[in-house]
Amino acid sequence: MPYSTSMPTPKILVVDDSLLIRKAIQHELTQLGAMVTQARDGQEGLEKAHADHFDLIISDVDMPRMDGYTLCQQLKADPKTARTPVVICSSQDSEEAIDKGFHAGADGYLPKSDGSEGFRRAIRDVLDRANIISGRLILVVDDSTLVRHSVSDALTQAGFRVATANNGRAAMQWLADNGAPDLIISDIEMPQMGGMELLTTIKRHPQWHSIPFLVMTSMADQGTIRRLYRAGAASYVPKPFNAPHLVHTAEKLLSDNFLKLLREKERLQSEHGLLLASITSLIQALEARDLYTRGHSEAVARIATGMARTMGMPAEQVESLEIAARLHDLGKIGIPDSVLLKPGKLTDEEYEIIKTHPTIGADILRPIPSLADLIPAVQSHHERLDGTGYPQGLKGDEIPLFARIIAVGDIYHALTSNRPYRAPMPEDRVLEIINDARGSHLCPECVDVFLQYLEASGQHAPRPATAGTPL
């Protein structure tokens, strides 16, 4: 599985005195999509690390000229390379060897006996964490100028961006002015507003409650720690604190939090995809009920997205519009066959039944949170600018833009398609009808965009055997 976060192709330096092992590691890393540079020993690795920037360095331990521990120590001692993650990869997997690697400053320790999948998974994790941490913003809250400066310096050297406040009230003002940081590190005992009050206030606020909150405190008794965790603190560090320990705790909280959010986003996207696939199957089942409705939703979605791109709409909105257009007739699944498939014009009573399909479609989507933004387009695609449409009789700009776009594509495709009681209309006549409806039925700007889209795409009226909703 290739490396899939937002970082560009990761550049990795592999340091090992064995050509065979270097090539084996390079093979595994190329499976992740990495660009690999090799070095034969620690000295050459150090020279290459100084000459170029790497996203990760993987080093053996026992090598001539300079061993892996010494290489790691020198890399971490140099400000230019101190923030580059270093992973020791060795056949020495004793507790003593692992401790020695971490004492040298290594960010990870991999036994060479772990196997291909374990190796790639560990490297992905290191890269994910490095990418997640880089440039994140931390708000440091403490009434001591010395503490604020020392914490800020340590975090800045580790690659974080830092903002400061001298008490909880100042921190609240900073949040109101600047929005949510990625992490808050706060003292407990402060004038005006202490850390506990700041913590409880933030956790009650819907925009800020998910910010990880790290407490610095000299009151490390069991009762205080329990109260902190109960109030929502992610972790704490006792004062006087050790700067490397504080930085490591901040890195862990951030990486764990962002990886959790990333996994949750991936889970939601997967569920969203499965949900859309299920609904698409419903649409296909609906349109398969009759030759005259087959492919209508897909055609309207194609026209709507073409119009959206002509308007210069952002890609995310184009994608949402495409989904809304595909679902615009979803509510017809609740219309009886005797009405929906009637081979002729509808009676007034039957037309009233047909007019319920936008509301039925909206009701089907309403329990699905991820599709909530699409409901107005589905519910309103038969509204008219003059207020004579249905189901709510909306007028002008009260009609959502997505619905106004879909309405043009819906009418165009309906009129240029076969119906049980008539053949497709000529395109000139269809465009004439659409122009006549400008300003009364259809949005004038959307009609203009539709005509631009047709001209730019060189399209002529399609002639598939499909139909839309009766006009």
Query: What's the confidence (pLDDT) of residue 261?
Result: 60
Per the model's pLDDT, the better-predicted residue between 432 and 101 turns out to be 432
- Looking at the structure, do residues 153 and 42 belong to the same domain, yes or no? no
Q: Does 148 score more than 60 pLDDT?
A: yes
- Looking at the structure, do residues 56 and 69 belong to the same domain, yes or no? yes
- Looking at the structure, do residues 129 and 141 belong to the same domain, yes or no? no
Per the model's pLDDT, the better-predicted residue between 124 and 57 turns out to be 57
Q: Does 462 score more than 50 pLDDT?
A: no
- Looking at the structure, do residues 339 and 247 belong to the same domain, yes or no? no
- Looking at the structure, do residues 41 and 94 belong to the same domain, yes or no? yes
> What CATH number does residue 151 fall under?
3.40.50.2300
The conformational region for residue 355 under phi > 0 = left, psi -120 to 50 = alpha, else beta, is alpha
**122 backbone dihedrals φ, ψ, rounded to 5°:** -65, -40
Query: What's the confidence (pLDDT) of residue 133?
Result: 65
Q: Among the three residues 133, 157, 180, which one is the final residue of a domain in this structure?
A: 133
Contact at 8 Å (CB) between 140 and 164?
Answer: yes
Query: What's the confidence (pLDDT) of residue 266?
Result: 64
Distance of CA 276 to the CA centre of its chain: 17
Q: Among the three residues 133, 153, 179, which one is the final residue of a domain in this structure?
A: 133
Query: What's the confidence (pLDDT) of residue 202?
Result: 92
Q: Does 59 score more than 80 pLDDT?
A: yes
Query: What's the confidence (pLDDT) of residue 128?
Result: 67
Q: Please report which helix (H) or strand (E) contains residue 186, including its range.
A: strand 183-187
- Looking at the structure, do residues 65 and 154 belong to the same domain, yes or no? no
- Quick: pLDDT tens for 161-214: 899 999 999 999 999 999 889 899 999 999 999 999 999 999 888 888 888 899
Query: What's the confidence (pLDDT) of residue 469?
Result: 39
Query: What's the confidence (pLDDT) of residue 215?
Result: 92
In a domain, 274, yes or no: no
- Looking at the structure, do residues 327 and 240 belong to the same domain, yes or no? no
**Average pLDDT of the chain?**
83
In a domain, 399, yes or no: yes
In a domain, 468, yes or no: no
Per the model's pLDDT, the better-predicted residue between 6 and 132 turns out to be 132
Bridge partners, residue 90, by sequence: 111
- Looking at the structure, do residues 389 and 452 belong to the same domain, yes or no? yes
Q: Does 465 score more than 50 pLDDT?
A: no
Give the span between the Cα atoms of 425 and 428, in whole angstroms.
8
Domain count within the chain: 3
Q: Does 77 score more than 90 pLDDT?
A: no
Strands 86-90 and 56-59: parallel
Strand order in the sheet with 86-90: 35-39, 11-15, 56-59, 86-90, 108-111
- Looking at the structure, do residues 411 and 300 belong to the same domain, yes or no? yes
Over residues 104-128, the mean pLDDT reads 74
Give the span between the Cα atoms of 101 and 68, in whole angstroms.
8
Q: Among the three residues 240, 260, 280, which one is the final residue of a domain in this structure?
A: 260
- Quick: pLDDT tens for 250-307: 877 877 665 566 566 666 667 667 776 777 777 777 666 655 567 788 899 999 999 9
Query: What's the confidence (pLDDT) of residue 287?
Result: 67
Give the span between the Cα atoms of 12 and 35, in whole angstroms.
6
Tokens standing for 343?
A: 């081979």
In a domain, 398, yes or no: yes
Neighbour count for residue 448 (Cβ, 10 Å): 14
Query: What's the confidence (pLDDT) of residue 30?
Result: 83
Query: What's the confidence (pLDDT) of residue 353?
Result: 94
Over residues 130-153, the mean pLDDT reads 86
Give the span between the Cα atoms of 348 and 185, in whole angstroms.
67
For 112-126, 237-251, 263-277, 390-404, which range has the lowest pLDDT when averaged over its residues? 263-277
Percent of the chain at pLDDT exceeding 90: 41
- Looking at the structure, do residues 222 and 341 belong to the same domain, yes or no? no
In a domain, 470, yes or no: no
Q: Does 143 score more than 90 pLDDT?
A: yes
At CA 451, angle to CA 393 and CA 395, rounded to 5?
A: 15
> What CATH number does residue 390 fall under?
1.10.3210.10
Over residues 211-219, the mean pLDDT reads 87
Range of the domain at 156: 137-260
Q: Does 2 score more than 60 pLDDT?
A: no
Give the span between the Cα atoms of 428 and 417, in whole angstroms.
14
Over residues 126-132, the mean pLDDT reads 68
In a domain, 2, yes or no: no
In a domain, 467, yes or no: no
- Looking at the structure, do residues 116 and 219 belong to the same domain, yes or no? no
At CA 14, angle to CA 13 and CA 16, rounded to 5?
A: 145
**431 backbone dihedrals φ, ψ, rounded to 5°:** -65, -35
For 66-80, 103-117, 388-402, which range has the lowest pLDDT when averaged over its residues? 103-117
Contact at 8 Å (CB) between 12 and 55?
Answer: yes
Strand order in the sheet with 235-238: 161-165, 137-141, 183-187, 213-217, 235-238
- Looking at the structure, do residues 141 and 98 belong to the same domain, yes or no? no
In a domain, 275, yes or no: no
Give the Å distances, CA to CA, from 49 to 46, 77, 95, 127. 5, 13, 28, 17
Give the span between the Cα atoms of 431 and 392, in whole angstroms.
27
Per the model's pLDDT, the better-predicted residue between 113 and 45 turns out to be 45
Give the span between the Cα atoms of 186 and 286, in whole angstroms.
57
